[in-house]
Amino acid sequence: MSYIVAPPAVASLPVVGGAQRFPVRRIFCVGRNYADHAREMGVPADRQQPMFFSKPADAVVSDGVDVPYPSATQELHHEVEMVVALGAGGRDLTPEQASGLVWGYGVGLDLTRRDLQAEAKARSHPWDAAKGFDHSAPVSALCPASAVEPGPETVISLWVNDELRQQSRLDDMIFNVPELLSHLSKLFELRAGDLLFTGTPAGVGPLQRGDSFHAELQGIARLDGRIV
């Protein structure tokens, strides 16, 4: 097949313990999935329906590459999150069916231009420019679910310049992974290669040029990087 311009490269993530890479199809994210984070954002925790948004696949940053400070903001914020990688897809799934889609796990940052998000909220505008910008999704190498499975007591943490900024257990999530995937499958047909950022605990805050960050999903994934 001949294209008018060269097709874009496939975004991908490394896999722990192997040379193969995981191709990224779509990046879905969920907002306000930890009650303490919802409170710090000034909104009530809601178990009726998860709030989803997305980032482009090529927003992924991997392999320890430096993250450039984005344009058009003075308020770049970190949000550490468990990332779920799908090895199969489906639509209109039950939570039990959805749990079988998971191929692996990682840890990532949902980087946010908070000032643009606040302005969009005030005007009842969409958040795309605040969430879906270039390099807005640093993600660790993925660990296959066949090797390790996070439990409710698994801890997710973020340090910035060696200062602990965010930390919580996964059982503090309002919706667990099968529930999130079930709800998401009723809005989109999920497919292999999709990523889901599962929400962030309290403690979101600013990142500056020169800051280093270290994120961990306890015993499963680690992510190190720098804002430049």
Residue 221: give its domain's CATH number.
Answer: 3.90.850.10
In this structure, is residue 86 part of a structural domain? Answer: yes
pLDDT tens sequence across 93-141: 999 999 999 999 999 999 999 999 999 999 999 999 999 999 999 999 9
Rounded to an integer, the average pLDDT of 2-10 is 95
Average pLDDT for the chain:
95
Residue 4 inside a domain? The answer is no
The CB density around residue 118, as the number of other CB atoms within 10 Å, is 12
Query: What average pLDDT does the segment 190-202 reach?
Result: 97
In a domain, 126, yes or no: yes
Domain, as residue range, for 125: 16-226
Is the pLDDT confidence value at 42 over 70? no
Percent of residues, the chain, with pLDDT higher than 90: 91
Instruction: Give the confidence band of 84 by pLDDT, cuts at 50, 70, 90.
Output: very high
Distance, in Å, from the CA atom of 158 to the CA atom of 59, rounded to the nearest integer, reads 20
**pLDDT at 44 > cutoff 80:** no
Instruction: Give the per-residue pLDDT at 43.
Output: 67
- Asked if residue 3 is part of any domain, the answer here is no
Would you say residue 200 lies in a domain? yes
Q: Identify whether 179 is part of a domain.
A: yes
Structure-token match 């897809």, residue found: 89
- Residue 91 forms part of a structural domain: yes
Tokens standing for residue 129: 């420019």
Model pLDDT for residues 174-183, shown as the tens digit of each residue: 999 999 999 9
In a domain, 80, yes or no: yes
**In the chain, % of residues over pLDDT 70:** 97
Task: Name the pTM for this structure.
Answer: 0.96
pLDDT of residue 40: 73
Kindly tell me if the per-residue pLDDT of 225 is higher than 80: yes
Q: What is the spatial distance between Cα 77 and Cα 84, in angstroms, rounded to a whole number?
A: 21
Question: What letter does residue 69 receive in the DSSP assignment?
Answer: P
Let me know if 200 is exposed, middle or buried by CB neighbors in 10 A (0-12, 13-18, 19+). Answer: buried
List pLDDT tens digits, range 131-171: 999 999 999 999 999 999 999 999 999 999 999 999 999 99
45 pLDDT more than 70? no
Evaluate if residue 36 carries a pLDDT over 90.
Answer: no
- Between 210 and 48, where is the model more confident? 210
How many structural domains comprise the chain?
1
Alpha helices, DSSP H only, in the chain? 35-40, 95-98, 114-122, 128-131, 177-185
Average pLDDT rounded to a whole number, residues 67-95: 98
